[in-house]
Amino acid sequence: MGRVPREGHLLTDEADRIFLETTIRFAPQKLAREDVQAALRLAGIEPGKPVVDLGCGYGRHLRELLQWGHRAIGVDRSALLVGEARREAPGATIILGDLRALPFHARSMAAAFCFYSSMFLGSEEDAALALAEAARVLRPGGSVVLTTDNPLRLAARPHARFEEDVRGLGHVVEESRYDAKRHVDTVHKSVRTPEGKRLQATFSIRYYGPDELSTLAAVAGLTFVRTDAPLTETTPQLIALLEKTEA
């Protein structure tokens, strides 16, 4: 399907429903497994430590974190998705909450993971607040791993469109346009059900390259360490490691 899975904290109930129904059908669990493996390699976290999935969606990444023996905690602002996550990953602790005001004590987490731009669905102020909250709840030496689409790849192919009849769901259309000057991808998704009902949502994601992430991290009290691979126009994702280095 399209290039923007949605786990986050600033969208409507209808957008949550569209995300849930389409992602369950188009994103195989193997993809979540690969996401988690890449994040854990960067973070270097031992099993048994408390880790949090920021914008956990319906729990597909929490399920994989549990498989690796971690004390997995998920946060999402969507009651719909939190309910689904509790069924998908029953061994995880899953909390309804806002990434800009995390319901955790300071220095309580060994690592924080944010898959598919959950922090970046709102304004730049929202992103800064969410990253500062991640820094607050991390232990010294703890890691944040951010997984987003690669802005260089988006700039090279700024327009994408997907359309298909999906059994059990209906006619799905997704169209994305990336503004390389603003580093914003605007996405419109719609579903027309077999009964004729139409669901639709439009949302935007702000993308950050390594230099911008380094600046954003420093303001939040984190250090940008590296990406998992050099970025080119053909690199599928940007996966970045940030660390909390204060004593």
Domain CATH for 20:
3.40.50.150
Residue 61, phi then psi, degrees to nearest 5: -80, -35
Q: Is residue 2 part of a domain?
A: no
pLDDT value for 121: 86
pLDDT at 10 over 50: no
**pLDDT digits over 149-178, tens only?**
999 999 999 999 999 999 889 999 999 999
98 and 79 within one domain: yes
Q: Is residue 100 part of a domain?
A: yes
CB-based contact 95:181 (threshold 8 Å)? no
CB-based contact 38:147 (threshold 8 Å)? yes
pLDDT value for 176: 96
pLDDT value for 65: 97
Two structure tokens written together for 94: 């899953």
**pLDDT digits over 40-78, tens only?**
999 999 899 999 999 999 999 999 999 999 999 999 999
Query: Which residue type does 118 have?
Result: S
213 and 194 within one domain: no
pLDDT value for 106: 97
222 and 133 within one domain: yes
pLDDT value for 119: 86
pLDDT at 86 over 70: yes
232 and 138 within one domain: yes
pLDDT at 2 over 80: no
Q: What average pLDDT is seen over the chain?
A: 91
Largest CA distance in the chain: 59
CB-based contact 58:24 (threshold 8 Å)? yes
Instruction: Tell me the sheet residues that pair with 164.
Output: 172
User: What total of structural domains would you count in the chain?
Assistant: 2
The residue behind tokens 């420093």 is 218
- Domain with 160, as residue range(s), is 153-204
User: CA 199 to CA 192: how far, in whole Å?
Assistant: 6
Most confidently modeled range among 9-18, 115-124, 138-147, 186-195? 138-147
Can you point out the beta strands (E) in 118-236?
138-149, 159-166, 170-179, 184-192, 198-206, 223-227
User: CA 8 to CA 121: how far, in whole Å?
Assistant: 7
Instruction: Give the mean pLDDT of 80-86.
Output: 96
pLDDT at 1 over 50: no
DSSP 118: G
User: What's the pTM?
Assistant: 0.91
pLDDT value for 5: 44
CB-based contact 234:157 (threshold 8 Å)? no
220 and 103 within one domain: yes
CA distances to 59, 73, 82, 86 from 92, in Å: 9, 6, 11, 7
Instruction: Pick 2 or 183 by higher pLDDT.
Output: 183
191 and 96 within one domain: no
Instruction: Pick 247 or 35 by higher pLDDT.
Output: 35
Instruction: Give the mean pLDDT of 204-232.
Output: 95
pLDDT value for 127: 92
Q: Is residue 7 part of a domain?
A: no
pLDDT at 145 over 70: yes
Provide the 10 A C-beta neighbour count for residue 129: 18
